[in-house]
Amino acid sequence: MELVVASAVGVLTAGGVYLILRLRAFPVILGLALLSYAVNVFLFATGRLAINAPPVLQKYGEAAYTDPLPQALVLTAIVISFGMTAVLVMIALGAYIEADDDRIDMTGDDEAAGKDSTA
């Protein structure tokens, strides 16, 4: 099971990193979404894995509980990463509407290349 989680985190990270290295805003946003999954699952996994042991206290008898702290941290992280994604989307959208182009690299070469492609 550990291998499954670790490899999933690795795959999500690799996909996310590849996408954030693209040249357009939208793939970068997708990449950040993938990275958010990866980071959240990774943080959650620092509490180690347990099955059928949710951190909800049972009234009767002894029960095993998994580590609640990473869960609490990840819960807010999920919501915050949504906020971050929303802001990013908004900025990307604004930039696109203003500039009619959703390229994100602003080097001299790229500007020239951008002109070439539109010409």
Instruction: Figure out which of the listed residues 60, 61, 76, 115 binds other proteins, where binding follows CB under 8 A.
Output: 76
Please answer whether residues 17 and 31 qualify as being in contact, where contact means their C-beta atoms are separated by less than 8 angstroms: yes
Of 51, 49, 21, residue with least CA distance to 34: 21
Least separation in angstroms between CB 61 and other proteins = 14
- The pair of structure tokens assigned to 87 is 């802001």
Nearer to other proteins, 107 or 115 (CB): 107
Contacts 24+ apart (CB under 8 A), 44-53: 44/70, 44/71, 44/74, 45/5, 45/6, 45/9, 45/70, 46/70, 47/71, 49/1, 49/2, 49/5, 51/1
Residue 63 binds other proteins (CB under 8 A): no
> How many residues sit in the footprint of other proteins (CB under 8 A)?
91
Residue 112 makes contact with other proteins by CB under 8 A: no
Interaction between residue 83 and other proteins (CB under 8 A): yes
Is residue 118 a contact residue for other proteins (CB under 8 A)? no
Where in 37-56 is the site for other proteins (CB under 8 A)?
Answer: 37-38, 40-42, 44-56
Give least dist CB 33 to other proteins, A.
Answer: 6
State yes or no: residue 110 binds other proteins (CB under 8 A).
yes
